[in-house]
């Protein structure tokens, strides 16, 4: 199902497969995603005036903020990039250039469009690759050889080397296509990556995009050098396919499409936005830096033009989703202008014990399903009793309550501690075709001593 046909209710149902609870957040992002499709289908000039309703998610770590945004981008087949707002303040007043998040988004869009184009020309590129491999295995008889053959034919009228060569080539081509010769090794010529190794000396005023552009320009100017590699035909197919695809793809067209895609469907997720909010009553120190970062973010979120190595992108219609725990600050601590650019406020609920149990059992990518798949790769079967899962959920909730609430991420530490010995014993002590059943008693034996000893649980869980 594509984003063209997904209604808000369809989007929520899809998110439900991966994220437990958080009904309000799901509804709001579903409406935001559908509104993008609605805007693209508006006929009148007002289309350009419709700006996205950016969303501010408020909730503790591990409750599903990032996962909602990431799944949304996958559903929409849209360019998506995640940045931590704190990255912009890590080195005081300098930090990372805030425009870099837009450049990252364009890079994602280029990769998405390239992947689509690759699929379109894959058959043609594969045919070219098979012909190249055939020419390496059985070179065609060239004109010089043909002239020699013609002179020989005058002496020997029964000579038919050309026909034999073509017949052999035809048989080998079929074998290459079918993969019968994939293990055979051949020599192929590949281009050496040209690395100009340009760096800045001192604190230059060159920005990130200019630096990347300069490196690309110098790299393109440097002479291309080839080197010989001995690889299997299977590996050669992969290497040569990339080379042939790059020859067939029109990169100017890709960049143009990518810019449009990023402008109209791009999603930027700004995490830890609470880390750049501060009490503006102070006149110096880190709060000045935080407010400066907010003011740098403001034009990008409001809508501006950003120069990237692939072209100029307008950020007017990019959807921005910001998130933060806001434990030590509140959304009103953000500068008023930035608050106004995130009109939709969604508060995410803290996870309950029942939520933990659902997270273990229901999502398509649940931890129990992941561990089952990992262990099954060793031909060992593992199952979890319902009361065991309840005990795991209870332990995770208990540790979150007593130490620090890190949301669903606590399940990773608890499950890891529970299953580490089993994972270590496979395949030496627990051989193939074994069956393991995780019971409530096993969970208690493994985790009780840790959860009861607060000092231990602080370090281990």
Residues 90 and 92: their CA atoms lie apart, in Å, by 6
| Cβ pair 281, 99 in contact under 8 A | no
pLDDT at 199 over 60: no
> Do 102 and 306 touch, CB atoms closer than 8 A?
yes
Residue 56, phi then psi, degrees to nearest 5: -110, 115
pLDDT for the residue numbered 193: 59
What is the reported pLDDT for 377? 93
Q: Which residue has the tokens 């060793």?
A: 378
Domain pair 8-110+258-347 / 353-450, same fold:
no
The whole-model pTM stands at 0.75
Task: Work out the percent of the chain whose per-residue pLDDT is above 70.
Answer: 81
| Phi-psi domain of 121 (left: phi exceeds 0; alpha: psi -120 through 50; beta: other) | alpha
Distance between terminal CA atoms of the chain?
Answer: 40
pLDDT per position as a tens digit, 23-56: 999 999 899 888 888 888 888 888 888 888 899 9
Residue 312, SS3 per DSSP: strand
> From CA 149, how far away is CA 162, in angstroms rounded?
8
| Class of CATH domain 353-450 | mainly alpha
Q: Of 110, 108, 79, whose CA–CA distance to 250 is shortest?
A: 110
What's the pLDDT band for 450 if we cut at 50, 70, 90?
confident
Mean pLDDT across the chain: 81
- Average pLDDT, stretch 228-245? 84
Per DSSP, 284 falls in state S
Q: Are 2 and 33 in contact (CB under 8 A)?
A: no
Specify the DSSP class assigned to residue 275. G
Q: Which of 280, 276, 301, 279 is nearest to 290 (CA)?
A: 276
pLDDT surpasses 70 at 454? no
Which pLDDT tens digit goes with each residue over 332-363? Answer: 888 999 999 999 999 998 888 999 999 998 88
Separation between Cα atoms, residue 189 and residue 110, nearest integer Å:
27
Q: How far is CA 315 from CA 210, 262, 338, 401, 417, in A?
A: 19, 9, 15, 41, 45
Q: Are 12 and 26 in contact (CB under 8 A)?
A: yes
Task: In whole angstroms, give the CA distance from residue 63 to residue 28.
Answer: 16
* Residues 6 or more apart in contact with residue 179 via CB below 8 angstroms: 234
Long-range CB contacts (< 8 A, 24+ apart) of 396-400? Answer: 396/356, 397/351, 397/352, 397/353, 397/356, 398/451, 399/451, 399/457, 399/461, 400/351
Burial class of residue 73 (count of CB atoms within 10 Å of its CB; 0-12, 13-18, 19+): buried
Identify the pLDDT of residue 458. Answer: 67
Chain centroid offset of residue 12 CA: 21
Distance CA 364, CA 460 (A): 28
Domain boundaries along the sequence of the chain:
8-110+258-347, 114-254, 353-450
**What angle, rounded to 10 degrees, do the helices at 100-137 and 251-265 form?**
140
- Asked if residues 102 and 90 have their Cβ atoms less than 8 Å apart, the reply is no
Burial class (CB in 10 A: 0-12, 13-18, 19+), 30: buried
383 — pLDDT class (breaks 50, 70, 90): very high
Torsion of Cα atoms, 92 then 93 then 96 then 97, to 10°: 170
Asked if the model's pLDDT at residue 433 lies above 60, the reply is yes
Chain center to CA of 14: 19
Question: Sign of the C-alpha dihedral, residues 71, 72, 75, 78?
Answer: negative
243, pLDDT greater than 50: yes
What tokens appear for 84 in the block?
A: 């931590």
Bridge partners of 308, per DSSP, are: 311
Q: pLDDT for 109-142, tens place per residue?
A: 999 998 888 888 888 888 888 888 888 888 877 6
Per-residue model confidence (pLDDT) at position 161: 60
In CATH terms, the fold of domain 8-110+258-347 is: Rossmann fold (3.40.50)
Q: What is the largest CA-CA distance in the chain?
A: 102
Alpha-carbon distance of 260 to 312, in angstroms, equals 10
Q: Does the pLDDT value for residue 204 go beyond 60?
A: no
Helices 23-40 & 8-16 angle (0-180, nearest 10):
140
Query: Are the C-beta atoms of 84 and 272 separated by less than 8 Å?
Result: yes
Q: What are the pLDDT digits (tens) for 286-319?
A: 555 778 888 888 999 999 999 998 999 999 999 9
């Amino acid at each position: 199902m594509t984003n063209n046909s997904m209604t808000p209710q369809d989007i929520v149902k899809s998110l439900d497969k991966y994220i437990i609870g958080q009904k309000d957040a799901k509804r709001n992002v579903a409406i935001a995603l559908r509104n993008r499709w609605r805007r693209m289908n508006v006929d009148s000039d007002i289309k350009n005036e419709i700006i996205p309703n950016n969303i501010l998610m408020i909730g503790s770590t591990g409750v599903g903020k990032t996962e909602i945004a990431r799944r949304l981008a996958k559903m929409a087949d849209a360019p998506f990039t995640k940045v931590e707002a704190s990255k912009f303040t890590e080195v005081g007043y300098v930090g990372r250039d805030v425009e870099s998040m837009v450049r990252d988004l364009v890079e994602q869009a280029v990769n998405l469009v390239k992947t689509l184009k690759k699929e379109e020309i894959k058959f043609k590129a594969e045919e070219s690759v098979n012909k190249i491999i055939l020419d390496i295995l059985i070179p065609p008889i060239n004109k010089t050889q043909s002239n020699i053959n013609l002179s020989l034919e005058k002496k020997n009228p029964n000579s038919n080397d050309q026909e034999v060569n073509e017949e052999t080539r035809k048989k080998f081509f079929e074998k290459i296509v079918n993969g019968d010769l994939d293990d055979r090794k051949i020599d192929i010529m590949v281009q050496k990556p040209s690395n100009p190794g340009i760096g800045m000396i001192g604190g230059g005023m060159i920005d990130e995009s200019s630096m990347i552009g300069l490196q690309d320009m110098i790299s393109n100017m440097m002479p291309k050098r080839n080197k010989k590699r001995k690889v299997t035909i299977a590996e050669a197919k992969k290497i040569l396919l990339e080379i042939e695809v790059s020859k067939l793809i029109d990169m100017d067209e890709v960049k143009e499409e990518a810019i449009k895609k990023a402008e109209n469907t791009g999603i930027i997720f700004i995490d830890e936005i609470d880390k750049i909010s501060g009490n503006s009553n102070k006149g110096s120190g880190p709060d000045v830096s935080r407010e400066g970062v907010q003011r740098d973010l403001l034009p990008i979120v409001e809508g501006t033009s950003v120069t990237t190595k692939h072209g100029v992108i307008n950020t007017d219609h990019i959807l921005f989703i910001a998130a933060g725990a806001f434990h030590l600050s509140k959304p009103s601590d953000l500068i008023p202008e930035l608050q106004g650019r995130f009109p939709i406020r969604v508060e995410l609920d803290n996870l309950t014990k029942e939520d933990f149990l659902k997270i273990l059992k229901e999502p398509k990518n649940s931890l129990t399903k992941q561990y089952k798949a990992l262990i099954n790769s060793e031909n060992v079967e593992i199952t979890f009793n319902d009361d065991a899962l309840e005990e795991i959920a209870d332990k995770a909730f208990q540790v979150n309550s007593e130490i620090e609430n890190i949301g669903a991420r606590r399940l990773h530490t608890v499950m890891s501690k529970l299953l580490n010995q089993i994972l270590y014993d496979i395949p030496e002590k627990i051989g193939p075709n074994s069956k393991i059943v995780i019971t409530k008693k096993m969970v208690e034996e493994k985790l009780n001593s840790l959860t009861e000893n607060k000092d231990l649980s602080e370090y281990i869980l």
